[in-house]
Amino acid sequence: MPEYLSPGVYVEEVESGSRPIEAVGTSTAGFVGQAPRLDARVNEAVAVTSWTQFRNIYVGEKDKSTPLAQAVLGFFLNGGARAYIVNTGPEDVIAGNGKGLDVLERIDDVSLIAAPGKTDAKSYDALLTSAERTGDRFAILDSPLRVSDINRLAQVARVTDTAADGEGKGGLRARQSDQGCGAQFAFGIVARDALDPSKIIETYPSGYIAGIFARTDFTRGVHKAPANETVRGALDVTQAITKADQAVLNPAGVNALRFFSREGVKLYGARTLAPSSSENRYIPVKRLMMLIRLSIERGTGWVVFEPNDRFLWAKIRRDISAFLTILWRQGALMGATPEEAFFVKCDAETNQPETIDAGQVITVIGVAPVKPAEFVIFRIGQTPSGAYLEAA
């Protein structure tokens, strides 16, 4: 406390006590693969904010396009604003020994990861394992450009499968992720060559999809499913998917890219690779829960080493409740009132004497996330005076 010895007016600046929790970023992508210039910044994580910047670093005069280059172009075409690039170089190793995905794991800003064109079991596992281990990013997985039997895409791939050409034994789907840390998309798209727009090529969609994730986050919020969205830059799909085909793929957690005659190519699925019974089976729900957890984790660092008493508990409740109220107002949480949308409990009940003696402060949080309207059902019937329409 300052000493007041001389009569007069003293003005002091004091903290208001409130420490707002800011939402973490959710739209920065990380891409791993071979760049057109194989020797450019190999196994370094380089941030780019435009297609022009990528070309200046990773494309030489006579270089040809690669799945990585095509993905980066698709990312920026569809609304992406910032991406980290890891050029795997001639070896093309996407994980292990401090390369590829290992390099990306050191970057906290990355929220979406992809290895464009990698459709084998080892690559799928590497992407999902990286996302599960870090807990702060979501994996976007490609599928083969086409398959002879669509039922095989609903079956888990094995290391011995030759998934790249759509043939071989076993399945072609990525392994299950109990935490819902990734999603798989089928199939490829037809687009203009990134380095020679006069050419029409078949390519993998993960970069385009990451751009849609970013665009949806900017315009609607992370709680909005990045589905029923137009894929900018896509002229067609490499393999048509019917409604019957999607009935096979959707329960298996494989999201379809479909061509509609009036609307063009659309991303038409929002499932993760979690089991159908899991609370993490929807992409927006999983990503919203990641945003809430990481935002609270990074926004409450000031709590460490504070006196563990009822005054601290009240401050924790205040800050977390204020953050969740903002999400509720944005439409991310269910309920007519904040009380219906979430609860935050940090008091003497959650912090018993033995907990305090162990140096812990425990807060219990419950939220009710909104879920996508995946199946829209209209029940139509007739009455003697006419027809009625009931939406369910």
How far is the C-alpha of 54 from the C-alpha of 234, rounded, in Å? 20
Instruction: Give the pLDDT of residue 372.
Output: 83
Instruction: Give the pLDDT of residue 169.
Output: 62
Residue 96: pLDDT band with limits 50, 70, 90: confident
For residue 187, is the peptide bond before it cis, meaning its omega torsion is within 30 degrees of 0?
A: yes
How far is the C-alpha of 181 from the C-alpha of 269, rounded, in Å? 16
Instruction: Give the pLDDT of residue 98.
Output: 83
Number of residues assigned to the chain: 392
Residue 264: pLDDT band with limits 50, 70, 90: very high
Angle in degrees, CA 273, 279, 281, rounded to 5: 25
The Cα diameter of the chain in Å comes to: 92
Q: Give residue for tokens 């970013």.
A: 214
**Does residue 391 surpass a pLDDT of 60?**
no
Instruction: Give the pLDDT of residue 277.
Output: 87
Residue 217 one-letter amino acid: D
CA 245 to each of CA 16, 149, 154: distance values in angstroms, whole numbers, following the listed order? 58, 10, 10
> 29-285 architecture in CATH?
3-Layer(aba) Sandwich (3.40)
CB 212, CB 79: distance < 8 Å: yes
CA 55 to each of CA 69, 195, 211: distance values in angstroms, whole numbers, following the listed order? 8, 9, 18
Residue 168 one-letter amino acid: G
**Does residue 163 surpass a pLDDT of 60?**
no
User: Which of 107, 139, 153, 111 is closest to 206 using CA atoms?
Assistant: 139
**Does residue 385 surpass a pLDDT of 80?**
no
Residue 168: pLDDT band with limits 50, 70, 90: low
For the segment 101-116, the average pLDDT, to the nearest whole number, is 95
Radius of gyration of the chain (CA): 25
Domain ranges of the chain: 29-285, 302-392
Instruction: Give the pLDDT of residue 392.
Output: 47
CB 69, CB 58: distance < 8 Å: yes
How far is the C-alpha of 252 from the C-alpha of 359, rounded, in Å? 44
Residue 383: pLDDT band with limits 50, 70, 90: confident
Instruction: Give the pLDDT of residue 389.
Output: 56
